[in-house]
Structure 1
């Protein structure tokens, strides 16, 4: 009886050790998704605080859906030049890129918001002047060159597929800029982002586009937080869906 109990105990210990090792190997075998960007992929305002990326941010949602390990290095408030600088000079970002199997890039939104604020300030309430200044700022923005250079920097480190998100309309219907953003400002911005992606694809493989503008559309009531410009949980899920589709994981 004692021998039998010892044998059962040994078998139990062996099975526990084996299952733990197998689980660890399975977890390590998962492919890696790296989320790069600003407060949108960060999942801003979706948790109790904003001290760390939200589990509801779309890179994390993509990870859940596609069984990927996720590292979300998005930084609220970042412009495209800050992202480019980090990828060129910070080892944390460069190492994360090297280890990634898939990468999402969502950047340029804060560049545009700052251009909008400058145009409002400099136009002194003159709407025609505001439009002129805003259109000029959008046309000459460094966003497009920065997105191109960010992608090239990533490509110097990895061949992983890169999904570039274009810009959705963050303004609710009650906001005075909703119509202008949807019919005038953002179509021009997104046409330039699409042109940038085409040019990158002439040089590199697997530089993809996720059409956030089309996905969010004019359904801000469901997809954008009230009194905010950031996605709701449903909005983040929508952005995750188009990212997975672009990568062929859905």
Structure 2
């Protein structure tokens, strides 16, 4: 008799575990999903010793996901420019399917377009500050960054109506670096253009908002940017996450 009771107990335990597991899976799948698009910033590049092969689990998309109770798909790719992300959204099924099933999209891209323009301007100007600004503006225009961003948002909108939270460009240079003043001179104008573009895109497609990473970082690069690098520290990632959460709350 005891053997029969024991078998019944085991059977009931297995059944209860099965339904508990099934319920857990459904609960997890019922969560909203966040898809992070962009470059090495959402990827969390250089935050860990060996994280360069996979996104760092404390980069801002994961902090946002944890705080907002969302599943996260981090599709940030170190080194990518706007044109590369656009091609991926147009042709790569991994990207297209992820975006298609997203409830929220974060977008951080354009940083490498500007860094590439900066490098070319430095090389062509030969140290002449007047020529440097001339070549920098010329290279930024050649990069088609604003056109590409518009196309990226349009491509995302062809796949999903999910809100798009776009991060503008923070100053990545330490205050002791001469390039910090260049960033302080050039980036406000670029970010202002991004604001104007976002207004247009929001009117055209709906639910597009800009996160002001530039103001959030301010001149606190010593705390928010890795020394000798241009990527956010853990503190910087948290600041980006807080700003993103505030933006996402506007859609709830």
Please, what TM-score do these two structures have when normalized by structure 2?
0.95
In structure 1, the partner of 2:26 is: 25
State how many pairs are aligned.
249
Q: Encode CA deviations 1:8-46: one digit per residue, 9 max, x unaligned.
A: 223222221111111111111111110100011110001
Q: Alignment partner of 1:44: what SS?
A: coil
1:248 aligns with 2:249: yes
In structure 1, the partner of 2:212 is: 211
Task: Report the CA distance between 1:223 and its aligned residue.
Answer: 0.5
In structure 1, the partner of 2:158 is: 156
CA distance in 2, matches of 1:87, 1:21: 33
CA distance in 2, matches of 1:207, 1:222: 29
CA distance in 1, matches of 2:10, 2:112: 60
In structure 2, the partner of 1:117 is: 119
In structure 2, the partner of 1:59 is: 61
1:136 aligns with 2:138: yes
CA distance in 1, matches of 2:89, 2:43: 17
Is the CA contact 1:31–1:68 (under 8 Å) kept in the aligned structure 2? yes
CA distance in 1, matches of 2:137, 2:29: 48
The equivalent position to 1:97 in structure 2, one of 81, 96, 99, is 99
Is the CA contact 1:33–1:71 (under 8 Å) kept in the aligned structure 2? yes
Please, what TM-score do these two structures have when normalized by structure 1?
0.95
Is the CA contact 2:120–2:139 (under 8 Å) kept in the aligned structure 1? no
CA distance in 1, matches of 2:235, 2:247: 19
Q: Which runs of 4+ in 1 moved over 4 A?
A: none
CA distance in 1, matches of 2:129, 2:206: 43
In structure 2, the partner of 1:70 is: 72
Task: Report the CA distance between 1:70 and its aligned residue.
Answer: 0.8
Is the CA contact 1:167–1:186 (under 8 Å) kept in the aligned structure 2? yes
CA distance in 1, matches of 2:159, 2:132: 41
CA distance in 2, matches of 1:228, 1:48: 14
CA distance in 1, matches of 2:53, 2:141: 34
Moved more, 122-131 or 157-166: 122-131
CA distance in 1, matches of 2:93, 2:16: 40
Give unpaired runs (5+ residues) of structure 1: none
Task: Report the CA distance between 1:221 and its aligned residue.
Answer: 0.9
Give unpaired runs (5+ residues) of structure 2: none
Could you say what the CA RMSD is over the residues aligned between the two structures, in angstroms? 1.5
Q: Encode CA deviations 1:43-71: one digit per residue, 9 max, x unaligned.
A: 00011220111112111111111111111
In structure 2, the partner of 1:87 is: 89
In structure 1, the partner of 2:227 is: 226
In structure 1, the partner of 2:189 is: 188
